[in-house]
Chain A
Amino acid sequence: MGRVADPGGPGVALPPTVGALHVRGGVAGTRATLESIAAAAVRADRAVRSLAAAASCVRRAAAHPWPAAAHDAGHAAAAALAQVDRGDSGLAACADRAAALSVALGTAVRTYEDADRLARARVEAIMVVGGARTGELGPKGWALLALLGGRALTSMATYVVALRAVRCSPGIAGVLARQAPDLSGLPGVAGWLGGAVTTGDGLLPDGLGVPYGDDAELTILWAASFALGAMPGLWRPNGRPVEELAARLTLTGHVAARILGLPERQLVVAPLVGGSGRRSGGGSGGRRPGEERAPQGVGDVVAQVAALGDEPQPTIAVQRLDHADGTRSWVVSVPGTRSMDLLGGENPMDNTTNLALMAGLPDDMTEAVEVAMLRAGVGPDEPVLLAGHSQGGMVVTRLAASLQGTFDIDAVVTAGSPVSSMPVPDGVAALHLEHAQDAVPALEGRPNPDAANRTTVVRDLHLPPETFAGATLGTQPDDLIPVHEAWRYAETAALVDGLDDPSVRGFREVLNGVLGDGTARVTTQEYAVARLPVQGPDPARLKTRGG
């Protein structure tokens, strides 16, 4: 758990309750730790070889025959050389200790990797196969399971209410029950039920909420496998049910659009010109050189993404930073889903794109951002930071890989995005922001990889309200939507800016290499994106559909 540094007092840490941020991965993550241990094992192995070479030299020297003229002196030298190699503190013993160290380090790495992989793989396999078999049962089987499940839930609910009644009672039993610790932190169903019994006031729990974190990921795997099992035909469970379901739904959407006679559409990426303000609701974009403040941290970057979500039409932004030393860098911002459309309508920031991204199929938004970057004049050697919220995060993560060789992508920031199965190339540093209660990042059914170049920061929004820089931040989510909002992630990103964690510091170094010292001259070009009918209306009259 990282400590959050107080911005008003360097070196002063805020109380632990403010540490609602959990950091995983990055240069200090488990994978990086394992890589460090492996590197140490290599060093120890080299030390063993060097010690073996030294021992060989010493033995040969000790066995050297001396002439009679130097008998006494030679004997003394030989005796001294023999002492070097002998005994518990001799060279041979040191070589054995180094060898044992090398073996122990290598074994530790292999054991941890195997255990970690095996534990997670077993649980995932259970969820995938269980979901598929349940899906294959068909409607009668589902009805039977629902009946049995309903009876089990009713029993559990009865116990929960009974225990809460004891908790609310005035007697000694009630007093003792109210002293029970909060059990909502237990894993899985135990935490779910434990929280229902031990938290809140009143006879009924405040709400069981929805599973999140690991529970959400496993639930997603089960649900995707269930859906595939329920579909006509035999589905063989494999390790990628979410991707496969997304691919089938994408194909279904295309077929449905043709059957319904929906028009063929082409992607349009149009630069916005003119403009009357930077980031305000309803404000329009355009080229405004020199009027903006350069972003200075993750908070500013994510805030720029959030502001794009407030634009009246689907918009992406390519921001040029001209630094005092004559160099140039870029920040590309991509907001999230704006439309639930599954049939490839006018708004490309829709579920059609979401499904294509999750399935690993070509999508319109990835193409749109690449076109925008080319039109903006991003140079092949100029550092680029890509940032996105939700779908936008998936788009920029995909671009980080696909644009290798075209642009110099140095860093990626995602907020609330399911990117666990999307690779991030070596040489690109990624920061993934998630909210523990946000189910969207869990939609791929797996946590983000624990890689040295991928840092995931998860904020738990269930902690008490916290004070940061004098502002009170409400952290009790009213429902699911605010936990996924871009502005909520901008708030989290601002917290991360003050986080004193080695992995976050590692990312920050790369980020600052793109953003500079905050004095760059800023020019932002915004682009509207749309799918217009091939023989449709004038692209200048772009309009959005409700998302």
Chain B
Amino acid sequence: MDDGGVARLCAAALAALSDARSELVAGAGVEWQGSAAERYRDVVEDLLAALARVTRRLEHARGLAAEAARTAVAGPAGTAGAGGASWAG
């Protein structure tokens, strides 16, 4: 996998997160009245807030991954292309 793959994985994860949030929002919009419906909507609201935080963290992580990918391509300063690069986990 080349280093751009991490950013692509992050993008795919963000898209899936967006789908999940859309489904939850649509589910909360169904015609349903009463105290149970209010509790359900409260649960969905909390879950959406948590997913929003997850999304922000993931976007931050994607930014870091993109930066790491650029560093990996450019190499440390002055050593790009000299010798073989060693991989560390």
Q: Which of B25-64 contact A (CB under 8 A)?
A: 26-28, 30-34, 36, 40, 43-44, 47, 50-51, 53-54, 57-58, 60-61, 64
Q: Which of A148-183 contact B (CB under 8 A)?
A: none
Residues of B within 8 A of A71 (CB): 88
Q: CB-nearest residue of chain B relative to A75? A: B68
Residues of B within 8 A of A80 (CB): 57, 60-61, 64-65
Task: Indicate the size class of the contact surface on chain A.
Answer: 35 or more
Counting residue pairs across A and B whose Cβ atoms lie within 8 Å, the total is 169
Residues of A within 8 A of B44 (CB): 101
Check A469 for interface membership: any CB of B closer than 8 A. no
Contact A61 B87 (CB under 8 A): no
With A39-B30, A50-B17, A89-B50 known as contacts, the answer to whether A61 contacts B69 (CB < 8 A) is no
Contact B65 A77 (CB under 8 A): yes
With A44-B24, A91-B54 known as contacts, the answer to whether A68 contacts B86 (CB < 8 A) is yes
Min CB distance B76 to A, Å, is: 5
Contact for A69 among B27, B58, B72, CB less than 8 A: B72
User: Scoring A residues 66 to 83 as 1 if CB is less than 8 Å from chain B, else 0, what string do you get?
Assistant: 111111011011001101
Q: Which of A501-528 contact B (CB under 8 A)?
A: 502
Contact A43 B65 (CB under 8 A): no
Contact A74 B72 (CB under 8 A): yes
Contact A84 B9 (CB under 8 A): no
* Closest 3 pairs between A and B when the two form their complex, measured CB to CB: A43-B27, A73-B68, A80-B61
Chain A interface (Cβ < 8 Å from any Cβ of B):
27-28, 32-33, 36-37, 39-44, 46-48, 50-51, 53-55, 57-58, 60-61, 64-71, 73-74, 76-77, 80-81, 83-84, 89-91, 93-94, 97-98, 101, 105, 108, 502
Chain B interface (Cβ < 8 Å from any Cβ of A):
1, 3, 5-6, 9-10, 12-14, 16-17, 19-21, 23-24, 26-28, 30-34, 36, 40, 43-44, 47, 50-51, 53-54, 57-58, 60-61, 64-65, 67-69, 71-72, 74-76, 79, 85-89
Q: List, sorted by A's number, 23 A–B pairs whose CB atoms are closer than 8 Å.
A: A40-B40, A41-B27, A47-B21, A50-B19, A53-B16, A54-B12, A57-B16, A64-B5, A64-B6, A65-B87, A66-B68, A66-B88, A73-B64, A73-B68, A77-B64, A77-B68, A80-B57, A81-B65, A89-B50, A91-B17, A91-B54, A94-B47, A101-B40
